[in-house]
Structure 1
Amino acid sequence: MPRTKEQFEEMRNATRDKIRSAAMQLFVHQGFGSTNVQDIADTAGISIGLLYRHYRTKDQLLKELVAYAVEGLKRNVLFFESDQSPKQLISHFVNEVYTDLLNGEELANLLILINQALFASAGTDSNSNQHDEILQVNARLLDATARLIRKGQQLGEFRLGDPHEMAVYFYASIQGLAEMKILLKSNFTMPSPSVLTAFLIKEME
C-alpha cells in the first residue's frame, strides 16, 4: 500500500529531527569547525545523500539550530510577561529547566550552541543578522526577568536586591549548569529547583 502524503511528511520531519539532534550534539562536543557533514550523517544513522536532500550546507544547519534556540528564548520572554504570579512563573520555569537538564542533553546543548554561535560570529560579517537577533532577544529576556523579579519583590514573594543583577545571576547559573552537565557527563548532579531559587524566593514564615 503506497504511503500517504502525511506519512511522507512524517518521515521527512523525523529525518530532519535526527539530523538536527546529531548536528547539535557534534557541534557542542567537538566544535563546529571540527565537524563535517559525514560525521553528522553517520551520527544520525543516514546516508550523506539523504542529509544533503534536507540541508545543502553545514552552515545552513547551524543557522536553523540557532534560530530554533532563539524562538525558545522569545517564548520565555512572553511567558515572563504574562499576568501570573511572579513566584509561580519562576517556579514553573525552573521546574522545566530542572526536568530538561536532569533527563537529557537537548537543553544543555542548545544553551551552549547559542553561546558558540555568538562567539563565532562576534566581530565578523558572518551571520551578523542572527548575531544581532540573539543579543536583542537575550537583552529582552533579561529585562523581562528583571521586571518580573521587581514585581515579585513588591508583592513580598522575592528577596530584596537589584532585580537586573539577580536576573543575570539566575541565567548565569543555568548556563553554568548546562556546561557542567556536558563536561561531567554521568558525574553531573542536578541541583533541585529549591536550590536554584534559594537566592530569590523567600522562605515561608
Structure 2
Amino acid sequence: MNYKQKLILPMCAAFLLYGCNSADDSNEADNNAEDMTTVGQGTDTEVDPQVKAEVKDVEGKTLGTVNFTAEENSVVIETALEGLEPGYHGFHVHENAACEADAKDGPFTTAGGHFNPTDETHSKHAGDMPPLYVKEDGTAKYTATLDNMTIDQLKKEELAVIVHANPDNFANIPDRYEANGEKGPDADTLKTGDAGDRQACGIVVSAEAK
C-alpha cells in the first residue's frame, strides 16, 4: 500500500461515519418534528361547557346557545347568537326556568326578575352579565369571565337567560340627571337597568342533559 492509499482510507472511513451520524441526526430531528406535529394536531384546547341555555325568540326560533364553564373560582360565559336587532342589549340570568313567549304580562316575563339571591340592586345581581353587542348582520359573539355566580348555582337554581330589547345602564344614573322628577335612578332602573322588553329566552340546564 503506497502513501496515498494510506492517507485516503482513513479519510473515507471518517466521511462514511460522519455521513451515517448526520443521517441518524436528521432522522431523529424528523421524528421529533413528526411527534410534535402529531401532539399539536391531537390537542383540543376547547373545554366542554358544564351548563348551557338554548336561546329562542318569541316565535320559538333558536337563535343560538349560551355556554357556562367553571374556571378556577369563576364562570366563563360564551355565546354565539343570531337573528337579533343590532346594538347593545341587556343580558342577564333570570330567577325562573320558564320561557313562555305568550305569557300574560309579556313575552318571557315568566322568567321572573334577575337572579339575585343576595337581594342587591341592579349591577350587583348575581345574574348581571355584561351587555350583549349585536353587529349589523344580527349576530353576536361574546366571552366573559365572572365570579358573581357559580356553576353549582346555575345547575341547581332552575334559571333562565334573557336577551332584552334595550341597552342596560346597570342603574348608573348620576344625581345630576332626573328620573320621574327625582334625582338619581328610580325604582325600575335600580331593579332592571331599563333594559326593556324581553326578546329572547333560554332555560339553563346541565350540559349533560339530553
Larger of the two Rg values belongs to structure? 2
Q: Same fold (TM over 0.5)?
A: no
Name the one with the larger helix percent.
Answer: 1
TM-score by length of 2: 0.23
TM-score by length of 1: 0.23
